[in-house]
Amino acid sequence: MKHQQILDKLAARGLVRAMDEELARWVKHQMLYPGRSRAEIERGVIPPVLLRWRCLLDAEDIGAATKNVTRVALATLLHKYGFQDPGTTAGALAAVDELNRQVVLSDAFERQSPEIKKLLESAPVPLTRRPRTRRTLSFLQAGDVISFELSGRFHAAYVRAMHGADEFPVIEFCAGTFTRPPTWAQLSGRAAAAEHARARFGVVGLAYRPDPAHQVLPVDAQQPHPPHGGDPLPGRGLWAMTDIMSLQEDVRNLFPDARPTVRQNS
């Protein structure tokens, strides 16, 4: 049994592709640091990935079948890139059984479930070279307003511009933290989250609309007025370069007073 054989049987091509692209890019990024140990790379890879995709697993408007497919895809792709998280693996094994009980996927998936479980439980093989990555393209547009979830809290951002040929958006966060995705009425006329461009980021991987991880949700589109008060000082740069995974740490630093909300429906 190969990783791609499992992924093909999940019948979720778009979700699997997005997750695979993210993991390849993030693993490659973590492997760029010279002299890092295997344990250090693992600590750099796994927590941000689980934090991002937890948004889908906690979402109330996502069905159980999609969540179970996501659990299997996540464990499979982590294993493909040489990593394993005990909780994620256990969740995937239970999800395989539940998908079969609910007859969600094909007969071939059910027949090969023992082999699928065997692969997921086996020790992954660490990569010996950085994975290949694809050139990113974003479907967002300037003037879009989005909500970004982090640990059960929501933060709003405005798409100021698209970099290059729609390679990635440059966004600016609005001041304020919300317990649910905000509306444009709550954001109109709001100041930037921090002055002097610290709230502005060029985000590689902020690509899909809708976001398959359910972390980024649309609020509004074609809004002509960005947050005010965040113009950069001379010599400070217009925005900081980041990735959809590392953006989580950027947001945590930008909103240090925000406290995570613990959800009970996972």
76-105: pLDDT as tens digits: 999 999 999 999 999 999 999 999 999 999
Q: How far apart are CA 28 and CA 130, in angstroms?
A: 5
Average pLDDT for residues 193-212, to the nearest whole number?
90
The Cα–Cα gap between 225 and 160 comes to 9
Model confidence band, residue 264 (pLDDT cutoffs 50, 70, 90):
very low
Distances (CA, A) of 127 to 4, 11, 66: 16, 26, 29
The pLDDT tens digits for 129-183 are 999 998 888 999 999 999 999 999 999 999 999 998 899 999 999 999 999 999 9
11-63 residue pLDDT tens? 999 999 999 999 999 999 999 988 899 999 999 999 999 999 999 999 999 99
Per-residue pLDDT band at 262 (split at 50, 70, 90)? very low
Q: Give yes or no for residue 265 having a pLDDT over 70.
A: no
pTM assigned to the model: 0.92
**pLDDT value of position 183:** 96
Phi and psi at residue 98, to the nearest 5°:
-70, -40
- Which are the contacts of 13, defined by CB distance < 8 A and separation ≥ 6? none
User: If DSSP codes are grouped into helix, strand and coil, which group holds residue 129?
Assistant: coil
Order of strands, sheet of 240-243, starting from the edge strand that comes earlier in the sequence: 216-220, 145-150, 153-163, 168-173, 200-204, 240-243
69 vs 136: which has the higher pLDDT: 69
